[in-house]
Structure 1
């Protein structure tokens, strides 16, 4: 019989990684957030790039997983995601102007796929309520953006700027939380 010595590792203490650069990053994020609020065209161009890259990756994932499960709706959504992602990345100026409509079409397609999935889940006695609700919400949101594209543009820019401001505030709060002076008891 061979004896194996198992060493127990000491538990790692939580080490704070919220150094000074977190505060700097937070301040930069807040500045960028306000800049995006007041310059919606720049935020739309940046969003087009990020959203395009994300849609290509997500679409490839949908295509791969839907081929394994033989789900035609998600294969369709995957190809649509990849196609829209390529369009967003390759035509930045045009994309910024048409992003609300492209986003609305994407919301309609994904909303329809979620409703179909909810129906399939329900037939298999699986939870389907959230999928149905999000599908309906996506379709309503898509139609609202098509009806009011300028509002869609403003909403997208505002939400992007708002996220950056909140993210920056979180980074700064994290820095101060983890770097507060230690109380020394005598």
Structure 2
């Protein structure tokens, strides 16, 4: 923690940078969505390539073929995402909506099991809000696939930035 205190300015600077990037992404949600899609695609290509390399490094293992094939499909999916970000945005937004609804429903079910326990209402409220958000995502699909992922990226960058800024300022004050 002592080392972090001495670097408080870096936390503040990084926090400000994230906030600026978040508001920059917020100013053009379509571009932010495309950047998010490309980021996911490139990461999948890299991960698939590493999985293929790993398969060849353990080629005497009986799972070699399936491991390598899995890496190939992962890299192929990433390549498809990079080559057609519009379709990828449609699919990923739909998956996001369905998974958000499912997450909300699971929390609701958990809250009913915890009914009577202290704090169960918070779990219920969280599940209800998450399910409603997922439903809103689903009802707005496919039009929201042009901006929703960019909006989520923007919000995440701003929140991360605020966290880093607050942490840096707190570290400065604890000298």
Indicate the TM-score class for this superposition, using the shorter chain for normalisation.
Answer: 0.5 to 0.7
Residue 55 of structure 1: how far off its partner (Å): 0.7
Larger of the two Rg values belongs to structure: 1
Structure 1 counterpart of 2:63, from 44, 60, 70: 70
Structure 2 counterpart of 1:101, from 82, 90, 98: 90
Query: What is the TM-score normalised by the length of structure 1?
Result: 0.53
Residue 73 of structure 1: how far off its partner (Å): 7.2
Residue 168 of structure 1: how far off its partner (Å): 0.6
CA RMSD of aligned residues (A): 3.7
Q: Secondary structure at 1:103's aligned position in 2?
A: helix
Residue 157 of structure 1: how far off its partner (Å): 1.1
Determine whether 1:151 maps to 2:149.
no
Task: Please state which structure has a larger fraction of its residues in helix.
Answer: 2
Query: What is the TM-score normalised by the length of structure 2?
Result: 0.56
User: 1:15 matched to which residue of 2?
Assistant: 3
Q: Is the Cα–Cα contact under 8 Å of residues 93 and 149 in structure 2 kept in the other structure?
A: no
Q: Deviations over 1:50-69 (max 9, x none)?
A: 22221112223444469756
Residue 153 of structure 1: how far off its partner (Å): 3.4
User: 1:165 matched to which residue of 2?
Assistant: 158
If asked which structure has higher relative contact order (CA below 8 Å, sep 6+), I would say 2
Count residues with an aligned counterpart.
131
Q: Is the Cα–Cα contact under 8 Å of residues 32 and 164 in structure 1 kept in the other structure?
A: yes
Q: Is the Cα–Cα contact under 8 Å of residues 55 and 84 in structure 1 kept in the other structure?
A: yes
Q: Residues 166 and 104 from structure 1, CA distance in 2 versus in 1: closer, same or farther, beyond 3 angstroms?
A: closer
User: 1:53 matched to which residue of 2?
Assistant: 42
Gapped runs of 5+ residues in structure 2? 100-133
List 4+ stretches of structure 1 deviating above 6 A.
71-74
Aligned mates of 1:153, 1:48 — CA distance in 2: 11
Q: Is the Cα–Cα contact under 8 Å of residues 99 and 153 in structure 1 kept in the other structure?
A: no
